[in-house]
Amino acid sequence: MAGPGGKKEKVDKADKAGKKKKDLKKETGLGLSVKKDENFGEWFCKHEMIEYYDISGCYILRPWSMAIWEIMQIFFDAEIKKMKVKSCYCPLFVSPGVLEKEKDHIEGFAPEVAWVTKSGKHDLEVPIAIRPTSETVMYPYYSKWIRGHRDLPLKLNQWCNVVRWEFSNPTPFIRSREFLWQEGHTAFATKEEADEEVLQILELYRRIYEEYLAVPVVKGMKSENEKFAGGLYTTSVEAFIPNTGRGVQGATSHCLGQNFAKMFEINYENEKGETAMVWQNSWAYSTRTIGVMIMTHGDDKGLVLPPKVASVQVVVIPVPYKDANTQGIFDACVATVAALEKAGIRAEADLRDNYSPGWKYSNWEMKGVPLRIEIGPRDLENKQVRTVRRDNGVKEDIPSESLVEHVEKLLGEIQQNMFQVAKQKREACVEEVKTWDEFTEALNKKKLILAPWCDEEEVERDVKARTKGETGAAKTLCSPFEQPELPQGTLCFASGKPATKWTYWGRSY
Amino acid sequence: MAGPGGKKEKVDKADKAGKKKKDLKKETGLGLSVKKDENFGEWFCKHEMIEYYDISGCYILRPWSMAIWEIMQIFFDAEIKKMKVKSCYCPLFVSPGVLEKEKDHIEGFAPEVAWVTKSGKHDLEVPIAIRPTSETVMYPYYSKWIRGHRDLPLKLNQWCNVVRWEFSNPTPFIRSREFLWQEGHTAFATKEEADEEVLQILELYRRIYEEYLAVPVVKGMKSENEKFAGGLYTTSVEAFIPNTGRGVQGATSHCLGQNFAKMFEINYENEKGETAMVWQNSWAYSTRTIGVMIMTHGDDKGLVLPPKVASVQVVVIPVPYKDANTQGIFDACVATVAALEKAGIRAEADLRDNYSPGWKYSNWEMKGVPLRIEIGPRDLENKQVRTVRRDNGVKEDIPSESLVEHVEKLLGEIQQNMFQVAKQKREACVEEVKTWDEFTEALNKKKLILAPWCDEEEVERDVKARTKGETGAAKTLCSPFEQPELPQGTLCFASGKPATKWTYWGRSY
């Protein structure tokens, strides 16, 4: 199958990676040596979120990150089921004929499509594509399932893996060759219903980012250049990472219009007995959400996890002294965890006897646990516990009898504070520009640029061309739904033509 | 990519399939023409569980079946989390070097492995395999994650898709080229811990079948020929389908011993500071469970779904008459659904005005909804509703004021009855044999054969060879943990050597 040369190379890579990490571990015991902005991938690895895999661009999602994914999944799945969206599962494979049916669509994805050509030792009759997304997988069957107006709306969603064999440098969560996502695919009788759902879903994506991940996002419309290949229009929630000065597309909710319906003949008989064509949407968010959260909140001590998605919200650490009642302290830790868990708080005690309290503090700080509780002899005496917040380091002694109320309050405050801090940081990066010079200057200062634009495709292409560099070209992120006032006669910063809207620009992931 | 000929062929297939089904629909309006035992695949399709896909061996799981999968998933995932198993997600792809590391393992899977050799228009440097199962994906990293005894036990599970490009005739759910499953992979310091977990997991699989799917299963040990490739021993739950006289492996819980640990150098430092090797298990159940449930309970009217897994447990159908208070009847239906949903019962009203009550009855019977409630003028008058059970057709008038209690009781009885009936049917098929002649006779009568066996691999191979035919050869299903008494001097039915155990034999899926 693989030439021995090929095999060998892979194995070597894996070994090197392995050694490299082991050495680093030795060096610090915690990998704190790795600064967030220096080596992002390495940084991810240290905190047990992912593991590098011996196939480039693929990563193992470890329990510390999967728990976050599952919490978001429970929220989102329940919300869309309230909207009468039903679960399905469609095949991983697409036959070429179908994949290539919608020209713009395939043009957008073709270069990244992975192809299966063999099973065992035999060549397949026809190469088979692995889904980069499932429009072409599902829509031939929509045309079969949808006959009359009573079959509408049809609303399906699946949780699955997709593969996009990208070559631009892979980053854990943010740009990987396989990732997990949900993809919703819906069909309606009218454009109005489709338009309405696009925004309902986009609001759920905003809530995932702002309420769960404590990441501020902007809702807006993608440009023609940036919209979904083959769709009518694309809305998105856009985040921004101050440290790197890059925008990142958080999730997208597309109105596909009737383009796919034409290609796949998704027609139905309406109330009047006439043949009509459906209006379609598709919408998705992926494990990229986790990467955006990590980049937004992480610091040089490591991760900072929002309480709502942290699999361990509170870690309880015994702080014994030689002469102290160690057993009593350990018992108090266990009792504290029990009390918190009883109240539905995700808590864990770190009773390992081979690590010092100090080592444990840094270890759990690195892993981003929102709240640490320390219990020492004096705490035991005074019937109190010491709380330490991960987000701002604030320490507090709280009476044991009101433990649960205090902790619940603190976790709520941490969640709120993380969002507010992130929002302020992002807003401090926003810069309004009117001219090309202001634009390039702001770009070099890694700003999130808000500029008046003529909304012409060639102009965006031109801006990309003029800003190309090893840090990547600038492009539109979105035109925010909340538009600042645009005075009569305002000109496009790039073309000098009359501006039609304010648009966010920047480099992006 | 694909030759035009290839493309064309695929498209034609899809069209034919499409037309064929449309015609059938017309013919009966319900597809009741299709008898369960005649055309099993077609039969599956009629009931909106799956859709045939234009790639052979791949199927779309529609909401009616995905809802069942999700209910089982919620149960099982919660149970294993109580056992401290954590979720992870490992890549879909395996590099050949790793895949081929464990020789027996790869021998078992190689012929069915699908290979990715191209991305876009470019050939990959090295072909990459799609996981048929993830032992070789995960274990290289187990050797990295496990360092000391405090890292044990390591218990991970993932919910994912796997691909096995089989050529033996595909059947929806039972034998498909891609399927969904969970795969648990655990590592322990001692064999005792591993052995114990194997049985804990097997018990959860029994509960899925017997408590949720109302399908009786036998717990037992697989033979050397039938055990997991590369493992130490395999336990399984085995079901039997009376209509076809075939056994079906329900789910497997493997002890891998230290074989993979050797190959992938999964060592750790034990309490004494010595280097030791871990003991491993892997265990999985798949969407095949749904197929077994459908085959066990379905009849010529269609599906029969156990209440515990039915996404609609109760369907409420208005039975208006010309002169009757139609609005009042419809309101009563809506109120009934509301009352049931309030009590946590999954209920739905079928208020469509373009179908007769009779048509709706058959339609929901075909889809297998456990309980039907009819509301007509007299029911309205008498403040009652009419219930009709799907499992045995029993009708009952129940007073509206005790609706919820009655329905809850009925659903419980249906669940119980379905299991009891299935169990009796299966037991009626069990035949104890002592000689080869009894064996072949029982085999021809499609029996589930329990026979004394010498437990020698060659003998099983010999039995397979001697029973080969177009209906498939006979093989061991499992040696049940509950062994009937084996009198001294009992001989193997096939070899005449001393028998060491009773074993179930039969043809299987």
- Token digits of residue B449: 């054969």
Q: Does A7 touch chain B (CB under 8 A)?
A: yes
- Chain centroid to Cα A18, Å, comes to 27
Report CA-CA distances (Å) from B451 to A121, B24, B246, B338, B470.
Answer: 39, 44, 16, 54, 23
Q: B114 to chain A: which residues are within 8 Å by CB?
A: 116, 118-119
CA nearest neighbour of B428 among B216, B213, B168, B164: B216
Q: Tell which B residues from 345 to 364 touch A, by Cβ distance under 8 Å.
A: 352, 354
Contacts 24+ apart (CB under 8 A), A409-413: A410/A371, A411/A307, A411/A313, A411/A314, A411/A345, A411/A370, A411/A371, A412/A307
> Residue B164, SS3?
coil
Q: Distance from B120 to chain A by nearest Cα, in Å?
A: 4
So what's the pLDDT on residue B64?
A: 97
Beta strand A501-508 with A475-480 is antiparallel
In sign, the C-alpha dihedral spanning B325, B326, B330, B333 is positive
C-alpha span between B366 and B303 (Å, rounded) = 6
Q: How far apart are CA B71 and CA B93, in angstroms?
A: 28
Q: Is the pLDDT of residue B36 over 80?
A: no
Kindly report the nearest CA distance between residue B454 and chain A, in angstroms.
35
pLDDT computed for residue B25 by the predictor:
34
CATH 3.30.110.30 domain span(s) along chain B: 430-507
**pLDDT at position A39, please?**
61
- Whether residue A98 and residue B54 make contact (CB cut-off 8 A), yes or no, is yes
Chain A positions touching B96 (Cβ under 8 A) are 1-2, 6-7, 10
CATH of domain A430-507: 3.30.110.30
Residue B475: predicted pLDDT: 96
Domain with CATH 3.40.50.800 in chain B: 314-411
Per-residue model confidence (pLDDT) at position A22: 38
Alpha-carbon dihedral A416, A417, A420, A426, rounded to 10 degrees = -130
What's the pLDDT tens digit per position in A460-499?
A: 999 999 999 888 899 999 999 999 999 999 999 999 999 9
Query: What does the block give as tokens for B70?
Result: 């999700």
Q: Render pLDDT for A60-113 as a digit per residue (tens, 0 to 9).
A: 999 999 999 999 999 999 999 999 999 999 999 999 999 888 788 888 888 999
What is the tens place of the pLDDT at every residue in A130-163?
A: 999 999 999 999 999 999 999 999 999 999 999 9
Using alpha carbons only, give the angle B476, B479, B481 rounded to the nearest 5 degrees: 160
For A343-407, the DSSP string reads: TT--EEE---SSS-HHHHHHHHHHTT-SEEEEE-HHHHHTTEEEEEETTT--EEEEEGGGHHHHH
Q: How confident is the model at residue A339 (pLDDT cuts 50, 70, 90)?
A: very high
| C-beta of residue A390 within 8 angstroms of C-beta of residue A365 | yes
Amino acid at site B211 = E
Identity of the residue in A18, A89, A126 whose CB atom sits nearest the CB atom of B7: A126
Interface probe, candidates A49, A87, A99, A348, chain B, greatest B C-beta count within 10 A: A87
**DSSP letter string, B85-147:** -EE-B--SEE-HHHHTSSHHHHHHHGGG-EEEEEETTEEEEEEEEEPSSSHHHHHHHHHHH--
pLDDT band at B38, cuts 50/70/90?
Answer: low
Using pLDDT thresholds of 50, 70 and 90, give the confidence band for residue B84: very high
> What is the rounded average pLDDT of the residues B325-331?
92
Q: Is A91 on the interface with B (CB under 8 A)?
A: yes
Nearest CB partner across the interface for B70, out of A87, A93, A119: A87
Q: Does the N-terminal peptide bond of residue A153 adopt cis geometry, omega within 30 degrees of 0? A: yes
**Separation of alpha carbons A7 and A5, rounded Å:** 5
3-state secondary structure of A180: strand
Q: In whole angstroms, give the CA distance from residue A110 to residue A233.
A: 20
- Phi first, then psi: give them for residue B378, nearest 5 degrees: -65, -40
Contact by Cβ (8 Å): B449, B431: yes
Decide the pairing of beta strands A371-375 and A384-389. Answer: antiparallel
Cβ proximity of B178 and A92 under 8 Å: yes
CA B386 to mean position of chain CA atoms: 34
Q: Determine the distance in angstroms separating the CA of A48 from the nearest CA of chain B, rounded to an integer.
A: 10
Which chain B positions have a beta carbon within 8 Å of A53's beta carbon?
90-91
Residue A37 pLDDT:
56
CA atoms within 13 A on the CB side of B149: 12
Tokens of B295: 């085959």
Q: Which chain A residues are within 8 Å of B91, Cβ to Cβ?
A: 53, 55, 58-60, 178
Residue A67 contacts B where some CB pair is shorter than 8 Å: yes
CATH 3.30.930.10 boundaries in chain A: 40-297
Asked if residue B467 lies in contact with residue B421, where contact means CB atoms within 8 angstroms, the answer is no
B55 touches chain A (CB under 8 A): yes
Quick check: B18 pLDDT over 60?
A: no
Residues in B 109-138 with any Cβ partner in A closer than 8 A: 110-121, 125-130, 138
- CA dist B215 and B422 (Å) reads 7
pLDDT score, position B103: 82
Number of A:B CB contacts under 8 A? 196
Task: Decide if pLDDT at B466 tops 50.
Answer: yes
ipTM of the complex: 0.91
Residue B21 in contact with partner chain A when CB distance is under 8 A: yes
pLDDT band at B26 (very low <50, low <70, confident <90, very high): very low
DSSP string, A411-447: HHHHHHHHHHHHHHHHHHHEEE--SHHHHHHHHHTT-
Q: CA B384 to CA B373: how far, in whole Å?
A: 10
pTM over 0.90: yes
pLDDT-derived band at B32, boundaries 50, 70, 90: very low
When pLDDT is cut at 50, 70 and 90, the band that residue A211 belongs to is very high
Compare CB distances from A141 to B60, B86, B165 and report the shortest one's residue.
B60
In chain A, DSSP finds a helix count (H) and a strand count (E) of: 15, 23
Q: Which residues of B touch A144 (CB under 8 A)?
A: 18, 21-22, 51
Number of H helices, E strands in chain B: 15, 23
Burial of B489: CB neighbours in 10 Å, binned 0-12, 13-18, 19+: exposed
Look at residue B28 and tell me whether its pLDDT is greater than 60.
Answer: no
If you average pLDDT over residues B464-485, what whole number do you get?
Answer: 94
CB contact (8 A) between residue B114 and residue A110: no
Residues of chain B numbered 307-346 and touching chain A (CB < 8 Å):
none
Phi, psi dihedrals of residue B81, rounded to the nearest 5°: -70, -30
What is the chain B residue with the closest CA to A178?
A: B91
* Residue A12 and residue A344 in contact, taking contact as beta carbons nearer than 8 Å: no
Q: Tell me, what's the pLDDT at B43?
A: 66
pLDDT at A24 over 80: no
User: Nearest C-alpha of chain A: how many angstroms from B264?
Assistant: 12
Q: B49, B77, B119: best mutation site toward chain A, by most A Cβ within 10 Å?
A: B119
Band the pLDDT of A40: cuts 50, 70, 90: low
Q: How far is A178 from chain B (nearest CA, A)?
A: 7
Percent of all residues in chain B with a pLDDT value above 90, rounded to a whole number: 83
- Number of CB atoms found within 10 A of residue A10's CB: 21
Q: Tell me: the pLDDT tens digits for B404-440?
A: 999 999 999 999 999 999 999 999 999 999 999 999 9
pLDDT 10s digits, A2-18: 333 323 223 333 333 33
The reply to whether residue A10 touches residue B97, judged by beta carbons under 8 angstroms, is yes
Rg of chain A (C-alpha set): 26
Closest Cα to residue A220, out of A479, A470, A32, A440?
A: A479
pLDDT of residue A33: 43
Is the pLDDT score of A292 beyond 70? yes
Residue where the block lists tokens 């749904």: B290
Q: Average pLDDT, stretch A35-53?
A: 74
Q: 3-class secondary structure for A29-95?
A: CCCCCCCCCCCHHHHHHHCCCEEECCCCCCEEECHHHHHHHHHHHHHHHHHHHHCCCEECECCCEEC
Q: In A, which residues are within 8 Å of B178 by CB distance?
A: 91-93
Minimum distance, in Å, between the CA of residue A36 and any CA atom of chain B: 22
Q: Do A66 and B53 touch (CB under 8 A)?
A: no
CB contact under 8 A, A178 and B90: no
* CB-closest option in B6, B54, B128 to A55: B128
Query: Phi/psi at A36 (nearest 5 deg)?
Result: -55, -50
Please indicate if any CB of chain A lies within 8 Å of the CB of B181. no
Nearest CB neighbour to B178, from listed A9, A92, A144: A92
Give the Å distances, CA to CA, from A316 to A30, A329, A337, A387, B359.
Answer: 19, 11, 7, 9, 62
**pLDDT value at A21 more than 50:** no
Compute the distance between CA of residue B228 and CA of residue B459 in angstroms, rounded to an integer.
Answer: 19
A128 chain-B contacts, CB cut-off 8 A: 55
pLDDT of A38: 53
Q: What is the share, in percent, of chain B residues with pLDDT greater than 70?
A: 91
State residue A501's pLDDT score: 97
CA distance B162 to chain A (A): 10
User: Domain A40-297 belongs to what architecture?
Assistant: 2-Layer Sandwich (3.30)
The pLDDT of residue A70: 98
Q: Which chain B residues have a beta carbon less than 8 Å from that of A51?
A: 141, 144-145
One DSSP character per residue, A212-232 reads IS----EEEE--TTTS-TT-S
Contacts of B170 in chain A (CB under 8 A): none
Burial (CB count <10 Å: 0-12, 13-18, 19+), residue A470: exposed
Question: CATH class for domain B314-411?
Answer: alpha beta
Q: Note whether B16 contacts A: Cβ–Cβ < 8 A.
A: no
The predicted structure's pLDDT at residue A90: 98
Residues of chain B positioned with their CB less than 8 A from the CB of A16: none
User: What DSSP string runs through B340-401?
Assistant: HHHTT--EEE---SSS-HHHHHHHHHHTT-SEEEEE-HHHHHTTEEEEEETTT--EEEEEGG
Is residue B106 very low, low, confident or very high in pLDDT (cuts 50, 70, 90)?
confident
Q: pLDDT averaged over chain B?
A: 91
Contacts of B334 (CB under 8 A, 6+ apart): B349, B351
| Mean pLDDT estimate for chain A | 91
User: What is the token pair recorded at A371?
Assistant: 């709240």
pLDDT band at B47 (very low <50, low <70, confident <90, very high): confident
- The DSSP bridge partners found for residue A218 are A238
In this model, does residue A307 exceed pLDDT 90? Answer: yes
A80 touching B (Cβ < 8 Å): no
Question: Which amino acid, B492?
Answer: C
